[in-house]
Amino acid sequence: MSEPLLPPIGMLAELTHRCPLQCPYCSNPTELLKANRELDTQSWLDLFDQAADLGVLQVHLSGGEPTLRRDLEQMVAGLSARGVYTNLITAGVGIAEGRIRALAEAGLDHVQLSIQGARAATTERIGHYRGGHEKKLETARRVRVAGLPLTINAPIHRHNIEEVPEFIELALSLGAERLEIANVQYSGWALVNRDALMPDRASVERQIEVVAQAQERLRGIMNIDFVTPDYFATYPKPCMGGWARDAFMVAPDGTVLPCHAAHTIRTLTFERFGERSLADIWTNSPAFNAFRGTDWMQEPCRSCERREIDWGGCRCQAMAIAGDPAATDPACIKSPIHARMGMLVADAMAAAKAETAGNATAEPFVYRRITTVSEPAS
C-alpha cells in the first residue's frame, strides 16, 4: 500500500433482509438471508462499539427494513451514547405508532425515507404493496413531528423517471431538507431486472435538466442530490468513495464487505464479525486490501489523472460487465469496452418495445423475494 491506511468514517449496517416491500431494483443480494441468520442484539451492539473505537462517525441503519428489528431503539441508544451520528434508512411502511418518537428519544439523528413513486399507483406497483404510498407519507409526517430531519430517497428508473418533477414537489410539501434523485445502480436485483428498468436517453437528459433547474431554484430551501445514471455517464462515480477507503458495510449475518455488491466478486472471501474483530478485518482482510488505493490498477486507470478522484469506479460493475473486477469501470469513456454500456441500453430499449407490444397485464420485472434467482453472469 502506497498511502497510509485511514480509519473508516461511515458504516452501512444492513440489519435484516426482511422487508414488506419487493422493489425490483433492491440493492440486496439475490440470495436473501432469512431472519435466523441475523446477528443477535448483543453482537450488533459489540460491532457498533468496535466501529466507534475504530473511528466510525456515522452509521446508516438499513436493511431490508430496519424497523423490523425490535431492538432498533437499543442499537440507536448504544450508538448515540458513543456520539455516533445515526441515520435510519427506511421504506416507511408497517412502522407502529409511537416508534419514530421512541427512536428520536433514543437519540436518532436523521431519517431517510424511500418513496417508489411520486404517484400512489407507482409506489404501490413498484414496491408491490397496497396502500404503501399513504403509509409512507404518514411516516414522513411523524418524522417531522418528532423533530427529526428528513431526506426523501427516490430511486429512478424507466417506470418513474417522468415523475421527477412531482417527486421534487412532494419532497418540498413533506418538509424534507434533502431529496435524493437516485438513478438505480445496476447491481443486486436491479441487475436481474436491468432490461425492465433502464430508462431511455431522452428521458435521462430531460431529467438532468429538471434536476439542475430545481437545484438552482431551491438553493437554500431543499438540497437535491443527484445520483447519476452510470450507463449514460462519461466518467464513473467514485464508488463508496474508493474501495475500503473510508466506509464499509455489514450484512445481516455479520459479513463485513467494502460495498453492498462486493459478494458478486466470487474470487474474494469476506470475513464475518465475531470470528474476527472489526479492526482486524478493516486492516488485514485480503478482500479489503485487494482494491485499496491505486496499486492494483491496470491501464488506462493506472496512469490516469482522475485515479484519485473516482478510484477507477465501481469494482462490482467492472466484474458484472467486463468480467474482471480489476478492470476500469466500463462506465468510463476510457474503458476499452465503454461501448458495451450503450449496447446494454439498446438491449433494454428493445425489451421495452416488446413489453409494450406484448401482454400488458404481466409486470416486466421480477419482484424481490426470498427465492432462488441468481444474478446473471456477464
223 belongs to the binding site for another protein (CB under 8 A): yes
Give the cell for residue 96. Answer: 407502529
Piece of 81-89, 154-162, 259-267, 316-324 that binds another protein (CB under 8 A): 81-89
Piece of 107-115, 124-132, 206-214, 358-366 that binds another protein (CB under 8 A): 107-115
Q: Is the Cβ–Cβ distance between 29 and 138 less than 8 Å?
A: no
4 belongs to the binding site for another protein (CB under 8 A): no
212 belongs to the binding site for another protein (CB under 8 A): no
Sign of torsion over alpha carbons 250, 251, 257, 258: negative
For residues 178 and 185, give the distance between their C-alpha atoms in angstroms, rounded to a whole number: 20
Binding site, annotated residues = 19, 23, 26
Q: Is the Cβ–Cβ distance between 291 and 244 less than 8 Å?
A: yes
88 belongs to the binding site for another protein (CB under 8 A): no
Residue 312 interacting entry, from ligand SF4, another protein, none, C-beta within 5 to 8 Å by type: ligand SF4
- The single residue among 37, 99, 101, 144 that binds another protein, judged by CB under 8 A, is 144
C-alpha distances out from residue 300 to 120, 243, 304, 325, 333, Å:
46, 18, 6, 14, 10
For residues 280 and 348, give the distance between their C-alpha atoms in angstroms, rounded to a whole number: 43
Laid out side by side, the sheet with 247-250 consists of 223-227, 178-183, 150-156, 110-114, 85-90, 58-62, 10-14, 247-250, 256-257
Convert residues 272-311 into a mask of x (bound to another protein by CB under 8 A) and - (unbound).
Answer: ----------------------------------------
- Please report how close the Cβ of residue 157 comes to another protein at its closest, in angstroms: 22
For residues 225 and 175, give the distance between their C-alpha atoms in angstroms, rounded to a whole number: 16
- Count the Cβ atoms, other than its own, within 10 Å of residue 10: 18
Binding site, annotated residues for [4Fe-4S] cluster = 19, 23, 26
- Please report how close the Cβ of residue 267 comes to ligand SF4 at its closest, in angstroms: 20
Which residues sit at the interface with another protein, rule CB under 8 A?
Answer: 7, 9-10, 53-55, 57-58, 83, 85, 87, 109-110, 112, 144, 147-149, 151, 172, 175-178, 219-223, 225
